[in-house]
Amino acid sequence: RYLYVCHAELNAILNKNSSSVKDCRIYVALFPCNECSKLIIQSGIRKVLYYCDKYSETTSIIASKRLLTMAGVEYEEYRPKMNAITIDFTAIL
């Protein structure tokens, strides 16, 4: 199935609301794969904050970290202060 879907990083960068993401941060659930890291580097994003690195031993993630490091893109684990966020859409109306 993964061969037929775009990763969240690609969707976020392609569907951004600004003209540039240069020098921005990207927050992701999983550490980005090597293909997403290439896009992150090319787009000018300077920092990746990830929630989980459960595939850290795979060749894709090892290559991803190497690419990001060589390009000077920082990455760090994101540790939220809250367990959940609740949005009350009725309060917006």
Determine which one of 9, 35, 74, 77 is catalytic: 9
43, 16 Cβ separation under 8 angstroms: no
Q: Mark whether 57 is an active-site residue.
A: no
Question: How far is the CA of 45 from the CAs of 3, 14, 49, 50, 54, in angstroms?
Answer: 25, 13, 11, 14, 23
Which positions are annotated as active-site residues?
Answer: 9
